[in-house]
Structure 1
């Protein structure tokens, strides 16, 4: 049994936490299809046609590698990809390179939105973050946009990706209980993440991915305009506050976050997912949530 548990832990650590499809795929045969597609791109006059893998259409298998299905702005498979930072590809291309041009475009798009509905529509149309290609859903937000308290995590997990809402898995259930303990619920708070798409295998978002998404969460905070911001975990606090302290040093200490020309009270606390792994730390998070309740009373 311990061997099986160790194997499952290995799979989870490697990002294998969900089935990628219901149909069996012969990856060896699929490799042959891709090899033939590359040959065709090198010799366009070739008459040979790729062989479809069992249960799949040939056009589906070679869609990403066939030169006939690529836009002029995308390099052919036989060409070297442009270097990161070269800025040679449009920020809206699929597989966008996270260079400064993409980040600048994200800032411009986010700042141009005038409502949360506009911001959501902007994110749904935005293709500058590669995480969108592997995620099932845009996980925009949950709760009341007029709430006085806004809670911000790092990125969605598997359950959140499936349902399209933040904090709906086990960590979300714990968060709900923590909110109830101080007289709050999802109808009285607003919940979002710094990154709105699930990274593959629940890995940590890269600095480039976080930087691309940062203008959108910043604009989201401005549009909600809360009285209190609670950062769930160090990642969201570091991204938005620009601090480098670890969560143990940071948590429980009131800071400020600039929103629409005013300084909003901000507090970092442990992420609920961490509390599930380290239940003894719940007592510290309880103190933090009591502090949030006191701050709301203090602010009136």
Structure 2
């Protein structure tokens, strides 16, 4: 056999590396078991539409969601510290996102920090590394926090920050959390806030704002308004991912950050 006809099959390690590379590029769902000849498809006549509607994707039943909420409340109430809360959340099987996620993403930063940030859900990078806000949006968040004198790696609590999300598992294709998912995880989130006991809460994005402010209005209408969550002053602002898409919102987000800085200064000076 000459060199031109010789074929070497890739080993398992090479195949796994190729799959991991594709996943990191965002290719996380197979679409067929065999290659598809797109040219042949283009030449073939279009199929006749079926008169039978496609079966709707199953959604959580209200009764199921309600029972999962009750179970989440029970588990959250058993947590006496952040470690036991993380264990209770990992044991919760009501949220199906757990089945498709790579990692459980609990929190990052200093749990004793005066400032606590609540985001929406892990993305691809967060799911891969097991930490919140580490992708492009996280890099922007770090720059935003540095502008008001905060850093998730700082040890002094007045300069540090503690970061978590409404959901600890990544939704498929980075979609928004559903109403049912937010309802299931709300008890865990409130207990997380109670145990961390920050001086100020900064809620980033619609999901965090709606879950904790319990309102139907969107983030554009609600940002910049101070409310209380578990007795803690809280303000909502745009998510860094939204700021990457819509730069015109950065001015309003900057004003919200200045309000947070002023509120913290008042707390620390009192």
TM-score (norm 2): 0.75
2:202 aligned residue: 230
Offset, 1:245: 2.3
1:47 aligned residue: none
Query: Are the counterparts in 1 of residues 206 and 218 from structure 2 also a CA contact under 8 Å?
Result: yes
Query: Are the counterparts in 2 of residues 151 and 231 from structure 1 also a CA contact under 8 Å?
Result: yes
> Unmatched 5+ residue regions in structure 2?
1-23, 36-57, 154-159
**Distance in 2 separating the partners of 1:138 and 1:264:** 26
2:38 aligned residue: none
Query: Are the counterparts in 2 of residues 156 and 193 from structure 1 also a CA contact under 8 Å?
Result: yes
Q: What's the CA shift string for 1:84-125, capped at 9, x where partnerless?
A: 355xxxxxxxxxxx4322211111001111111001111222
Offset, 1:27: 6.2
Query: Are the counterparts in 1 of residues 108 and 152 from structure 2 also a CA contact under 8 Å?
Result: yes
1:173 aligned residue: 139
**Distance in 2 separating the partners of 1:126 and 1:248:** 33
**Distance in 1 separating the partners of 2:259 and 2:34:** 54
**Distance in 2 separating the partners of 1:115 and 1:189:** 18
Query: Are the counterparts in 1 of residues 177 and 207 from structure 2 also a CA contact under 8 Å?
Result: no
Offset, 1:155: 0.9
Q: What's the Cα RMSD here?
A: 2.3
Q: Provide the aligned length of Structure 1 versus Structure 2.
A: 217
Query: Are the counterparts in 2 of residues 17 and 201 from structure 1 also a CA contact under 8 Å?
Result: no
Offset, 1:153: 0.8
2:223 aligned residue: 251
1:150 aligns with one of 106, 116, 120: 116
Q: Are positions 1:268 and 2:206 aligned together?
A: no
**Distance in 2 separating the partners of 1:230 and 1:163:** 23
Q: Are positions 1:131 and 2:97 aligned together?
A: yes
Offset, 1:210: 1.2
Runs of 4+ in structure 1 displaced over 3 angstroms? none
Change (3 A) 1:24 1:285: closer
**Distance in 2 separating the partners of 1:163 and 1:153:** 16
Larger RCO: 1 or 2 (CA < 8 Å, sep 6+): 2
Q: Are positions 1:84 and 2:61 aligned together?
A: yes
Q: What's the CA shift string for 1:52-77, capped at 9, x where partnerless?
A: xxxxxxxxxxxxxxxxxxxxxxxxxx
1:201 aligns with one of 135, 156, 173: 173
Q: What's the CA shift string for 1:119-147, capped at 9, x where partnerless?
A: 11112222221000011111100010001
Offset, 1:19: 2.8
**Any idea what SS the aligned residue of 1:99 has?**
helix
**Distance in 1 separating the partners of 2:219 and 2:66:** 29
1:114 aligned residue: 80
